[in-house]
Amino acid sequence: MHKNESDAEYQEELKKRILELKKERGALIVAHNYQRDEIQDIADMTGDSYALACKVKEAREKVVVFCGVKFMAESAAMLSPEKTVLLPVEEAGCPLADMITVEKLCKKKDEYPEAAVVCYVNSSAAVKAESDICCTSSNAVKIVKSLKEEKVLFVPDKNLGRFVREHVPEKELILWDGYCIVHMRLTYEEVVHAKELYPEAEFIAHPECRKEVLKLADHVGSTAAMVKYVNECPKKEFIVGTESGILYKMKKENPDKKFYVPTDQFICANMKLTTLGWVARSLEKMVYKIEVQEEIARKARKTLEKMIEVTG
């Protein structure tokens, strides 16, 4: 009989097995803030895409299991070429990252030869390789501000791009027409409704949300910045405008505070593909190794390193 992964006893068995394998392999496990609760529990660290990439780069361990989506594991692997980075589920991708190809980017670059290309980390290694510098949601404003060029081609997320444009009015931003299908689901009306239901709550949002949604926010930031904000804010109630996996950490770190999701559609199916069973299998079989073609990795690494240099 096939064991059911939602069975509590089986979950404990899997957690034990993962800890044994982790020790055997000398591995580090990192998990993005959107991962399932039980995955966050077995991780050595949870965080946003920037923090996790830095953690992997600095880690002593030579094997890293990256519980997240492909572009995150790929970035971590390129920044740490001496390490083996494993993505437990090969198909865990990001539809936003797939909204741009190298061919289309090169065409656009020909239209704007004077523009610096800033690439959101939610993109393939090949697209990063064709860019001048990378950014994440935690540092996009700072990165764009740091550029000497006045014109900036910002790819592929238009909502983050618009957010940056508002904060760096001295630059001319040309935006790619990409977006996160999960964050785009949240509408202005849903947030207004949630605010009516919870009048004492602050509304916090990820910059991948629609512009009209961001206008309603008391705070906008990366997933790590959102967690930090609720930890430090004296308010007791929050409407959370990002993938619902983040609530686990927020609740755990703030048991006295209340958190609400403005829509029940706030789930990234790709992030939820990783289960305890897949993590155990990943360590057992050492799969799936992230491998990026050398020439692409060399160029893409430069754009990531430049980002780290600016961010500090």
Positions in the binding site for ligand 13P (CB under 6 A)? 33, 48-50, 122, 136-137, 180, 206, 208, 222-223
Residues forming a β-bridge with 202 = 238
Q: Which is nearer to ligand 13P, 124 or 222 (CB)?
A: 222
Question: In whole angstroms, how close is the CB of 50 to ligand SF4 at the nearest point?
Answer: 13
Q: How many CB atoms lie within 10 A of CB 150?
A: 11
Q: Which of 122, 136, 139, 282 binds ligand SF4 (CB under 6 A)?
A: 122
Q: Which is nearer to ligand 13P, 69 or 191 (CB)?
A: 69
Which of 87, 77, 2 lies closest to 39, judged by CA?
87
Question: In whole angstroms, how close is the CB of 67 to ligand SF4 at the nearest point?
Answer: 12
51 lines the binding site for ligand SF4 (CB under 6 A): no
Q: Which of 271, 276, 279, 304 binds ligand SF4 (CB under 6 A)?
A: 271
Q: Which is nearer to ligand SF4, 74 or 208 (CB)?
A: 208
As a whole number of angstroms, the distance between CA 30 and CA 53 comes to 9
87 lines the binding site for ligand SF4 (CB under 6 A): no
Going by C-beta distance under 8 Å and a sequence separation of 6 or more, which residues neighbour residue 250? 226, 227, 230, 238, 240, 257, 259
46 lines the binding site for ligand SF4 (CB under 6 A): no
Question: In whole angstroms, how close is the CB of 84 to ligand 13P at the nearest point?
Answer: 23
- The entry of ligand SF4, ligand 13P, none near residue 270 (CB within 5 to 8 angstroms by kind) is ligand SF4
Start-to-end CA span in the chain (Å): 52
Residues 228-247 that bind ligand SF4 (CB under 6 A): 243
Q: Which of 180, 186, 240, 279 binds ligand SF4 (CB under 6 A)?
A: 180
Give Rg (Cα) of the chain: 19
Contact by Cβ (8 Å): 176, 154: yes
Q: Which is nearer to ligand 13P, 17 or 185 (CB)?
A: 185
- The entry of ligand SF4, ligand 13P, none near residue 95 (CB within 5 to 8 angstroms by kind) is ligand SF4
Task: Pick the piece of the chain touching ligand SF4 (CB under 6 A) from 81-89, 267-275, 282-290, 302-310.
Answer: 267-275
Going by C-beta distance under 8 Å and a sequence separation of 6 or more, which residues neighbour residue 59? 28, 80, 83
Going by C-beta distance under 8 Å and a sequence separation of 6 or more, which residues neighbour residue 79? 53, 56, 57, 301, 304, 305, 308
**Longest alpha-carbon distance in the chain:** 63
Contact by Cβ (8 Å): 177, 128: no
Residues forming a β-bridge with 178 = 157
DSSP letter at 73 equals H
- The entry of ligand 13P, ligand SF4, none near residue 48 (CB within 5 to 8 angstroms by kind) is ligand 13P
Q: Which is nearer to ligand 13P, 11 or 159 (CB)?
A: 159
Question: In whole angstroms, how close is the CB of 48 to ligand 13P at the nearest point?
Answer: 3
DSSP letter at 184 equals G
Q: Which of 27, 152, 268, 296 binds ligand SF4 (CB under 6 A)?
A: 268
As a whole number of angstroms, the distance between CA 244 and CA 194 comes to 15
> What is the binding site for ligand SF4 (CB under 6 A)?
69, 94-96, 122, 180-183, 208, 243, 268, 270-271
